[in-house]
Structure 1
Amino acid sequence: MPRISFIGCSTAWIPTVATDLMCVFEEPIEFRLIDLNPDAAKLGAEWIEAATKHRSRKDTAIPTTDRREGITDADAVIIALAVGGLDAMEQDLLIPEKYGILTTVGDTTGPSGWARAIRHIPAFRGFAEDIRQQCPTAFVVSYTNPMAALTATLQLCCDNPVLGLCHSYFETQDCIKRIFGLEDWSQISISIAGTNHFTWVVDFNIGREDGYTMLREKVGDGSLKDIWPKKETTDNKVNLYSGSELACELYDRFGYLPYPGDRHISEFLSYPLSGDPERYTLEREGDLPIDMIRYCTIKRTSIEHRRAGMGDREKRVRDMMSGEVEMPKKSRETGAEMIHAYLHNHPLTDAVNALNIGQIPELPFGACVETLGVVDGLGVRPMMVPNVPDHLIEIMRPQAVCQKLITEGALEGNREKLLHALHFDPQCAILKPHEVVAMGDELLAANERFFNF
């Protein structure tokens, strides 16, 4: 019986990942639900008990607030949590806004991602130290953002196989599938490189045909936006799929496909969100108003929206347990398959976040980058992506450097290195050095209870 421990009993992740594990593993699983909040751990365990009964399985669920006990002799550890919760995140968003820097998501890059990383890294170092001692061969999966800095922290602080996972790779393949009218992903061969939430498709094939040749023929003299997949909205108007106008503009300018999620990729660039961009409010009946950036119609997610979503998720979990809402089916997340690949030595190729050991040789070694990789009984082995075009490397480089400096600075307790990382962040290009320091000091003060330097 594999022992799989969850550090953090998120109502966003437990139903999805636990369901996937039940679908992938034929044998019963011992789930261990670890959370500082005993009610959250108890709810997670109760949901798993209901789900395993629904599937006629014999899994067990053990809730606990004792992390070391909960991971002892674990075969896999899954981390999905938010240090400080939404109250801490609110300051991540509000403080940079005073300096003219807006956020769309606020969990990966920019001043907001910088503060979030500094708040999480001490906790993740603690997780890694416990994992190294209590379950030294366990496979470790993290779903927590900022993915690059936190995956790097885990890899630097324990010798276990560590994997940072995100669903952006699926969205990229989905868009290629829809552009070419494919039934599924089976004909798509792809090579990606970058950092999490800012990967680029370096090469791809459709069957045996060169994908970029086919794409350029489709676009012709127009814009990628002209052929981009569309979706119907509630008001029966057709919008760009997934909010990807910025992704289309980047393709038109640089000739390669970026990850198509504008809310994330906008936070890697200097111009969409900094310097008081023009905004408007999108009103929707029965919902909170949405603050929009007019350039590329980029949506911002407010703390109020996040709080509302959190309450909805907990209610949905309880409704699943009572039978009012259907239990989830297998998702397209691949964390369960990767854990299975490691424990059963069944090689699997997928997108992985890992320290750069040469898989993108033009980026700094030791920075956490995202490429395809192989998972098997040996752990995680990233695949090299040779000959990434120079102009793409230079777009990727700033955040690869920043995330490396943030990780090192937080682990070393080096305030100057942390401020250097903030200064080099593209979103801070509008600020003078003393303004970067002032903003950094405010963000550090807002989070000082989470670190001791």
Structure 2
Amino acid sequence: MKESLKIATIGGGSSYTPELIEGFIKRIDSLSVKELWLVDIEDGKEKLEIIADLARRMVRRAQADIEIHATLDRREALKDADFVTTQFRVGLLDAREKDELIPAKYGVLGQETNGPGGMFNALRTIPVLLDIVKDCEELCPDAWIISFTNPAGLNAEAVLRYTGWKKFIGLCNSPITIRHHVCELMNLEPSKVRIDFAGLNHMVFGLKTYYEGQDISDQVIEALCKYNQDKAFDERFESIPYLPEFIRKLNCIPSPYLRYYFSKEKMLSHVLEDAKEHRCRAQVVKKIEADLFKKYADPALDVKPKELEKRGGAYYSDAACNLIDSIYNDRKDIQVVNTLNNGGCASFDDDEVVEISCVITKQGPIPLTMRRLPIQVEGICREIKTFERLTAEAAVKKDKNIALMAMTANPQVQDVDKAKVILDEMMEAHQKYLGGF
């Protein structure tokens, strides 16, 4: 085991980075990070410098012996890295705004990881990830790539299906957020709670919940029913409460993103209303980020500000840093990641990427055996996996006809004529990032 680690973070100028710094500081006794290289592109240079200065103040305050490097040279950062983390957005928030507003013009929900918006996020992102993998093959062939870049599961599907690089793990904070929510509802100690998760990224389900080894799944379902009964629409998270009778029949804990499919019309009406008023989640996030970076630039700030939680990145450091810590220290604990199914869930092929509870070892994640998904959720997951596989193929082969098939297959669209119109307009809007189509 190496006594000191070099970690490269692609998208180091992200507003999420203070979460990551905090996570490494908290684990400095077990995770000996010596060098942290923050990488960004020319358009993100100013933010990168602000984040790097804040990171240096944070490690100085904690008296942590971590060298912070900021660079626009990705290859310099990757050379001899032990872990590579990714948290970038191709096209920045302007691209996300188009992902949300263009589909809305045609009465289709636009969102960062769902429907046409999620598809175009992937079409822009996958080629960049494949380039990063090529660099890693040359410069740090033993590194693990931990990708928090959305859409996390679809990106992992592309890398693990179309490259020879197997040390790639997609990561999302949703399962940790769900577990904390359950613990708050039931007043439970999080360290004593285990939820068995299976499904896909942003389409994952808590199948069983255990507290100190005892199955408390039925009590959790009833607590969720009670929580949803009198809950109103939540503007901040664009969430809609489920009917209690629906949750009882679902009989598992749903990802919040299931609302985009099982409360489709309500979610769509809110999105279309926002679009009419020329506001969307991307615009909200732009304001949050502008306020955050003003705070980050304050030379007196040397901790992660509380306001970062509004960005949607809560528990990111727990997800990313726990995973790196467990691989490095061969902890063999259970975490939820996006990886090859390899027999974990019978609803998916072995070579398909799933989001699933895994034992984390120094050889990587080993999926727990979850049998089949319940019939009430298996169908929607298979639809999304079809969409993911077609989108990944379109991104790799630069094939517009496959992209049309992918968009048509998505449950938010399922209309080939509408898909064609949206596809053409979004191809034009994002042409700068879609070279080769």
Three-state SS of the structure 1 residue aligned to 2:54 is helix
**Whole-angstrom CA distance in 1 between matches of 2:121 and 2:131:** 16
Three-state SS of the structure 1 residue aligned to 2:12 is coil
CA separation of 1:171 and 1:33: change in aligned 2, threshold 3 A: closer
Provide the residue aligned with 2:291 in structure 1. Answer: 312
Structure 1 position 181 matched with structure 2 position 187: yes
CA positional deviation for 1:407: 0.7
Provide the residue aligned with 1:8 in structure 2. Answer: 11
Residue-by-residue CA offset, 1:332-383 (whole Å, 9 max, x unaligned): 6231122122223232321101133322222244332111112221122222
Equivalenced residues, count: 417
CA separation of 1:131 and 1:230: change in aligned 2, threshold 3 A: farther
Three-state SS of the structure 2 residue aligned to 1:136 is coil
Equivalent AA in structure 2 for residue 70 of structure 1: A
Contact persistence 2:196–2:206 (CA under 8 A): yes
Structure 1 position 47 matched with structure 2 position 26: no
Equivalent AA in structure 2 for residue 426 of structure 1: P
Structure 1 position 266 matched with structure 2 position 249: no
**Whole-angstrom CA distance in 1 between matches of 2:225 and 2:33:** 47
Provide the residue aligned with 2:400 in structure 1. Answer: 415
Identity among equivalent pairs (%): 23
Higher helix share: 2
Three-state SS of the structure 2 residue aligned to 1:333 is helix
| Structure 2 unaligned residues grouped into runs of 5+ | 307-313
CA positional deviation for 1:226: 2.7
Provide the residue aligned with 1:371 in structure 2. Answer: 356
Structure 1 position 57 matched with structure 2 position 64: yes
Structure 1 position 137 matched with structure 2 position 142: yes
Equivalent AA in structure 1 for residue 211 of structure 2: I
Tell me which of 248, 272, 277 is aligned to 2:269: 277
| Structure 1 unaligned residues grouped into runs of 5+ | 232-236, 282-289, 293-299
CA positional deviation for 1:229: 9.6
**Whole-angstrom CA distance in 1 between matches of 2:183 and 2:46:** 42
**Whole-angstrom CA distance in 1 between matches of 2:68 and 2:243:** 42
**Whole-angstrom CA distance in 2 between matches of 1:301 and 1:250:** 28
Bigger Cα displacement from structure 2, 136-145 vs 385-394: 385-394
Structure 1 position 336 matched with structure 2 position 325: no
Provide the residue aligned with 1:166 in structure 2. Answer: 172
Equivalent AA in structure 2 for residue 277 of structure 1: S
Three-state SS of the structure 2 residue aligned to 1:272 is helix
TM-score scaled to structure 1, two decimals? 0.83
CA separation of 1:266 and 1:48: change in aligned 2, threshold 3 A: same
**Whole-angstrom CA distance in 2 between matches of 1:101 and 1:111:** 8
CA positional deviation for 1:67: 0.9
CA positional deviation for 1:153: 2.7
Residue-by-residue CA offset, 1:203-226 (whole Å, 9 max, x unaligned): 22334543233346x47xxxx543
Three-state SS of the structure 1 residue aligned to 2:337 is strand
Residue-by-residue CA offset, 1:286-335 (whole Å, 9 max, x unaligned): xxxx789xxxxxxx94332121112112112123xx22574469956231
CA separation of 1:248 and 1:363: change in aligned 2, threshold 3 A: farther
Provide the residue aligned with 1:24 in structure 2. Answer: 27
CA positional deviation for 1:46: 1.9
**Whole-angstrom CA distance in 2 between matches of 1:40 and 1:353:** 29
**Whole-angstrom CA distance in 1 between matches of 2:7 and 2:386:** 34
Equivalent AA in structure 2 for residue 317 of structure 1: Y
CA positional deviation for 1:32: 0.8
**Whole-angstrom CA distance in 1 between matches of 2:389 and 2:157:** 8
Tell me which of 370, 376, 382 is aligned to 1:391: 376
CA separation of 1:238 and 1:124: change in aligned 2, threshold 3 A: closer
TM-score scaled to structure 2, two decimals? 0.86
CA separation of 1:28 and 1:150: change in aligned 2, threshold 3 A: closer
